[in-house]
Structure 1
Amino acid sequence: MTEETSELDNVGAEMDAANLYSEEVVTDRKVGVIRILTPIDANGQRDPSRAPIFTGETQIMTQMGPLPISFEIPAANVAEAVAGYSAAAREGLRKTVERIRELQREAASQIVTPGMPGFQAPPAAPQGGGIVMP
């Protein structure tokens, strides 16, 4: 058995037959996408004991290019999901920006040591060993 095969065996990628959904996509072709996740049973029949889940997707342009934003939309039906899309998108964007800032703070507070990615040696001291005055 190859190393790749043994790693795949450890992934544990088994489907949960009690938590299946079918997916439908709704879009206005301008702002974004709403995904409707309809609960189904293992036979593919609608599971009325569970409510559908509505998620939204959009993207914003950044200096690095488009940034996809995904968010859950609290709704009981498509009409409510469409009406709630804008507010849910704003909240999804707020959470994404908050997470990016948190990651930036974590990266800025890391102590960089030789051998770590991003380590850069300080500039060399001036020749002659003295202090250079402007």
Structure 2
Amino acid sequence: MAANDMPEIKIDPDNMFREESFTDLKVGSIRRLVPVTAEGDDDPARETRFEGQASLMTPAGSLPLSFELDADSLSGAIDKFPDAVNAAAERAIEELKEMQRQQSQQIQVPGQGDFGGGGQGGGRIQF
């Protein structure tokens, strides 16, 4: 792809936030996103946002979780963190189960896997 074929990538000056991070160094972190103008001044016309982050340990390794915290203050975000992280973990687990379910339902075509026939015809279709 030539350089002139690249789409123009621009930061939206009307949607800028200052990011502040808070952590307990154990369970997770909370990001406070303070709306600012393109000059970097606080923008009181827009709402401050809070986002939580944590990791769920699975047999396959660490699964990062990121979720919105509906709060008006850091203390409110801290209070809502446990329920929000649990809901995010449940959604992630359900998504993983659904991906496994979909993968297990794929039709196996002879010649694309081991059907026990020694690579010869007569394979079975598996659901």
Give the TM-score band, short-chain normalised: 0.7 to 0.9
Question: Which among 96, 101, 118 is matched to residue 100 of structure 1?
Answer: 96
Distance in 2 separating the partners of 1:112 and 1:74: 45
Q: CA deviation at 1:46?
A: 0.8
Q: Which runs of 5+ in 2 are unaligned?
A: 119-127
Q: CA deviation at 1:4?
A: 6.6
Please say which structure displays the higher CA radius of gyration: 1
Question: Which among 78, 82, 85 is matched to residue 89 of structure 1?
Answer: 85
Distance in 1 separating the partners of 2:4 and 2:104: 37
Identical aligned residues as a percent: 33
Distance in 1 separating the partners of 2:95 and 2:2: 33
- Spell out, residue by residue over 1:77-106, the C-alpha distance to the aligned partner (whole angstroms, 9 max, x if none): 101001111111111111111111222222
Query: What residue number does 2:19 align with?
Result: 23
Taking only aligned residues, the RMSD between alpha carbons, in angstroms, comes to 2.0
Residue type matched to 1:105 in 2?
R
Report 1:36-47 matches (<5 A): 36-47=32-43
Q: Taking structure 1 as reference, are residues 13 and 67 closer, same or farther at Cα in structure 2, changes over 3 Å only?
A: same
Q: CA deviation at 1:42?
A: 0.9
TM score, norm. by length of structure 2: 0.82
- Number of aligned positions between the proteins: 118
Any runs of at least 4 consecutive aligned residues in structure 1 with deviations exceeding 4 A, and if so which? none
* 1:76 equivalent in alignment to 2:66: no
Q: Which runs of 5+ in 1 are unaligned?
A: 126-134
- Spell out, residue by residue over 1:46-87, the C-alpha distance to the aligned partner (whole angstroms, 9 max, x if none): 111111111111112111111111111110010100111111
* 1:51 equivalent in alignment to 2:50: no
